[in-house]
A = this chain, B = another copy of it.
Amino acid sequence: VADQAEPARLTIRDVARAAGVSYQTVSRALNDAPGIDAATRRRVLAVADGLGYRPSRLARSLVTRRTETIGLAVTAITNPFYAHVTQAVLEAAETAGLRVMVAPTRWSEADEETALETLVDHGVDGIVGFLDHVAEERLEQVARRLPLVLVNRWTPPPAIPTLNVDLAGGARQALEHLLGLGHERIGMLDGTPAWNDGDRRHTTYLALARERGLPVDAGWIEREPDSAAGGRRATEALLARQPTLTALFAFNDLMAAGALDALRRAGRRVPDDCAVVGFDGTPLAELTSPPLSTVAIRYEELGQRALDLIGRWQAGGRGAAAGPDGLVATWLVPRESTVGAASLRS
């Protein structure tokens, strides 16, 4: 089966010919450039429109060195946390009139390196990325060429603008919430993607425990992959080791959901026998039974600030985007996994 002849691409010269002007005049009209008669511009634009002309962004980008595209390096968006961040970046970019190229990584250095290379090669105007495994020097190398904003970088942050979900603040909100309800024997379900023990949820848990003299320590932390299955296993292990615990603080909503399941199987009622708090504020937390109290995140703010930083960097140079790491605010959403149906309604 033969292909239909592709219609020859309409170029700026075709428009020029049809409008009876030189093709640079068309360029001026299209770009709203100065030094062109208003009437001429209108006429040219009308002709272009009538012809159905669309400028080639490729050719334009080649000369302007701007693609009006940003890159996003991100891991499995089947994880609701990443899905929300991605959605936020997509929306912020659209508002800013930018396209988004998404490069998938799988939480490995090789993947992150490939993603970075792909995006740079494509000529994106800036990159937003979860790039935890790429060496600092490599990031620096990229940042010398184009705006680069890191998100939730766990390893020691390089001199590159970074946006972090306020994990410490969020952890504090979650734990204060539990403390306020009278809990003291609080276990923690930690997740493995965290950078060993450097994760701020982890350190905040320990710090707050010391600070308040809680009868818990590192032995009350159980680490598993940050999935529902991981949460289930971690809960089982913790229940075996610390049978007197009355509350659980989870790395994320997925693990918290797994915890609910494990508690149910163990015959413990939630929240009466054991309260549970998740992290991420994903919709999933509303769907568990009981619904999960969780630390919610301002995803839209994250997306917007990432694009802001890139914009400032483009406009004012790298210095304009410098500064201390940005913290993205969190807030606690109380639900029945901690406070019970009755108190929520009151």
Interface residues of A (CB under 8 A from B): 1-4, 6-7, 54-59, 61-62, 67, 69, 76-78, 80, 83-84, 86-87, 90-91, 94, 99-104, 117-118, 120-123, 144-145, 228, 254, 257-258, 260-261, 264, 283-284, 286-289, 316-320, 322
Additional 11 contacts, C-beta under 8 A, given A77-B77, A78-B84, A284-B284: A1-B320, A3-B317, A4-B144, A54-B120, A54-B121, A57-B122, A58-B67, A76-B87, A77-B83, A78-B283, A284-B287
Question: How far apart are the CA atoms of A4 and B316 in the complex, in Å?
Answer: 11
Nearest Cβ on chain B to A224's Cβ, whole angstroms: 15
Stoichiometry, copies per complex: 2
**Are B2 and A319 in contact, with the CB atoms below 8 A?**
yes
Nearest Cβ on chain B to A244's Cβ, whole angstroms: 24
Question: How far apart are the CA atoms of A57 and B120 in the complex, in Å?
Answer: 10
| CB neighbours of A254 from chain B (8 A) | 283, 287
Question: How far apart are the CA atoms of A83 and B85 in the complex, in Å?
Answer: 12
**Are B83 and A7 in contact, with the CB atoms below 8 A?**
no
- In the complex with contacts A7-B145, A121-B54, A228-B80 CB distance below 8 A: no
- In the complex with contacts A80-B80, A145-B6, A318-B3, A87-B104 CB distance below 8 A: yes
| CB neighbours of A123 from chain B (8 A) | 56-58
**Are A1 and B322 in contact, with the CB atoms below 8 A?**
yes
Provide 21 A-B residue pairs closer than 8 Å at the C-beta atoms, listed in order of the A residue.
A3-B318, A3-B319, A6-B145, A55-B121, A56-B62, A57-B121, A58-B61, A77-B83, A77-B90, A78-B283, A80-B80, A99-B118, A101-B101, A101-B102, A102-B102, A228-B283, A228-B287, A258-B287, A261-B289, A264-B289, A287-B288
Pick from B4, B228, B289: contact of A286, CB under 8 Å:
B228
Pick from B55, B102, B289, B317: contact of A100, CB under 8 Å:
B102
Nearest Cβ on chain B to A161's Cβ, whole angstroms: 13
- In the complex with contacts A77-B83, A84-B78, A318-B3, A104-B90 CB distance below 8 A: yes
Nearest Cβ on chain B to A264's Cβ, whole angstroms: 6
Nearest Cβ on chain B to A66's Cβ, whole angstroms: 10
Pick from B55, B104, B257, B287: contact of A94, CB under 8 Å:
B104
- In the complex with contacts A59-B62, A286-B228, A101-B69 CB distance below 8 A: yes
**Are B288 and A288 in contact, with the CB atoms below 8 A?**
yes
Nearest Cβ on chain B to A340's Cβ, whole angstroms: 15
CB closest chain-B residue, reference A143: B4
| CB neighbours of A145 from chain B (8 A) | 6-7
| CB neighbours of A91 from chain B (8 A) | 104
CB closest chain-B residue, reference A313: B3
Pick from B1, B78, B101: contact of A318, CB under 8 Å:
B1
Pick from B1, B261, B316: contact of A319, CB under 8 Å:
B1
